[in-house]
């Protein structure tokens, strides 16, 4: 069976049958090369309102080829395996819409994990099958439990590694075992939003061998471009093709392309690596200092730029934090996370501030 045959049968039939919107910029591809270009195909204004670069009067390329090339080489995959989206959150949404029929299909998640998977499922009308991470083993993946909980309704399995909000990497071998076992049965989505902080290898290298694997990356965290909304979905070209048919016509605004291209120059990539390494150092220092505070019960091991901290009393800690102007994430109402806060590692003085505030709880 070809790679494509292993994964396209999982796509919603009505999406496979869809005639996608053909934008002006897509059709313009067929113009003969060279010579004069007169752009009268997209009802644009021929003049731009300001002298700012880039010129904003024109619709952008649906998938700017220079950006796709740079992202592909950054993540070690081919351009045909790469889709640029408005944050990786849009990648999650597109996957739900492509694979899950409302009222019939389901996704499988491993809580506690990133909240958008369940939200995107709810929006699409897909069920959520939860298979909790093993808390006693520092929130390890329970691959056997995932396989036991799997049903044919499960079209997508979301693995987040390093996992948000617990912070740890999922075991690579167990994850691979799942991906292999689910070939032809489910797409496994590995969300690597925090991978740069971990030093661990990406699952992107497995995409060619595993057509049911999708990897999500983002420029929001290590690259410091959360405001630009630039995420990347890496997958088999057949899956990328399906997602391309349902994504909004021009998802990469020209200023976003410009910001991302600048971040992805050799100097930009080196700066992001340095920044990620510094933040990971800061997180290590923060974690060990937090562990020594009397108000802290436990700090979970983290491979990301944040730590999950179990407080003696999360309510009191949040009250103190709010009073001091410190904003951290209260996860204490989630199953398995009683009294837990998620704290992002910031600049050294910001980490120091966290310690001062929580020392007096």
Q: Are 90 and 243 in contact (CB under 8 A)?
A: no
User: Exposure string (b/e) for 8-20, b if CB count within 10 Å is 16 or more?
Assistant: bebbbeebeeeee
Exposure of 228 in the CB half-sphere (CA atoms within 13 A):
24
User: Minimum distance from CB of 146 to ligand PLP (Å)?
Assistant: 18
Which listed range, 60-68, 82-90, 200-208, 288-296, lies at the site for ligand PLP (CB under 6 A)?
82-90
Selected from 114, 139, 150, 197, the binder of ligand PLP by CB under 6 A is 114
Report d(CA 193, CA 197) in Å as an integer.
9
Residue number closest to ligand PLP, CB atom: 87
Report d(CA 272, CA 221) in Å as an integer.
10
Residue 173 neighbours by CB under 8 Å, 6+ apart = none
Here's the x/- map for ligand PLP, 293-332, by CB under 6 A: it reads as ----------------------------------------
Which listed range, 85-93, 140-148, 178-186, 272-280, lies at the site for ligand PLP (CB under 6 A)?
85-93
Judged by CB, which is closer to ligand PLP: 159, or 239?
A: 159
Residue 96 neighbours by CB under 8 Å, 6+ apart = 107, 120, 121, 123, 124, 126, 156
**Binding status of residue 170 toward ligand PLP by CB under 6 A:** no
Q: Are 181 and 173 in contact (CB under 8 A)?
A: no
User: Minimum distance from CB of 304 to ligand PLP (Å)?
Assistant: 8
Which listed range, 5-13, 46-54, 81-89, 205-213, lies at the site for ligand PLP (CB under 6 A)?
81-89
Neighbour tally for 228: CB within 10 Å: 21
Judged by CB, which is closer to ligand PLP: 20, or 282?
A: 282
Selected from 146, 159, 160, 272, the binder of ligand PLP by CB under 6 A is 160
Which residue spans within 253-337 are E strands per DSSP? Answer: 296-299, 306-311, 329-330
Which listed range, 14-22, 34-42, 86-94, 290-298, lies at the site for ligand PLP (CB under 6 A)?
86-94
**Binding status of residue 226 toward ligand PLP by CB under 6 A:** yes
Q: Rule CB under 6 A: which residues touch ligand PLP? A: 87-89, 114, 160, 164, 191, 193, 218, 220, 226, 231
């Amino acid at each position: 069976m070809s790679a494509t045959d292993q994964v396209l049968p999982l796509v919603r039939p009505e999406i496979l049958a869809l005639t996608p919107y053909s934008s002006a910029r897509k059709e313009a591809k067929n113009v003969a090369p060279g010579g004069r270009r007169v752009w009268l195909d997209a009802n644009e204004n021929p003049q731009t309102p300001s002298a700012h670069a880039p010129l904003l009067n024109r619709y952008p390329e649906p998938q700017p080829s220079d950006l796709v090339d740079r992202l592909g080489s950054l993540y070690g995959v081919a351009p045909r395996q790469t889709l640029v989206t408005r944050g990786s959150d849009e990648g999650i949404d597109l996957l739900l819409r492509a694979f899950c029929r409302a009222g019939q299909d389901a996704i499988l998640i491993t809580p506690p994990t990133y909240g958008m998977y369940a939200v995107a499922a709810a929006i699409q009308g897909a069920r959520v099958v939860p298979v909790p991470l093993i808390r006693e083993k520092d929130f390890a993946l329970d691959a056997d439990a995932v396989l036991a909980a799997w049903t044919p309704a499960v079209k997508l399995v979301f693995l987040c590694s390093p996992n948000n909000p617990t912070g740890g990497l999922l075991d690579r071998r167990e994850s691979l075992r799942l991906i292999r076992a689910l070939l032809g049965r489910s797409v496994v989505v590995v969300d690597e939003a925090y991978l740069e902080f971990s030093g661990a290898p990406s699952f992107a290298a497995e995409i060619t061998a595993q057509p049911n694997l999708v990897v999500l990356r983002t420029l929001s965290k290590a690259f410091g471009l959360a405001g630009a909304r630039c995420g990347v979905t890496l997958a088999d070209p057949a899956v990328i093709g399906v997602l391309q048919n349902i994504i909004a016509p021009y998802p990469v605004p020209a200023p976003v392309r410009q910001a991302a291209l600048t971040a992805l120059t050799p100097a930009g990539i080196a700066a992001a690596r340095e920044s990620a390494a510094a933040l990971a150092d800061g997180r290590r220092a923060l974690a060990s200092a937090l562990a020594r505070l009397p108000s802290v019960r436990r700090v979970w091991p983290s491979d990301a730029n944040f730590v999950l901290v179990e407080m003696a009393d999360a309510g009191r800690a949040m009250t103190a934090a709010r009073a001091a102007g410190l904003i951290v994430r209260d996860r204490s109402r989630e199953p398995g996370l009683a009294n837990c806060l998620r704290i992002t590692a910031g600049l050294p003085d910001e980490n120091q501030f966290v310690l001062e505030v929580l020392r007096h709880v």
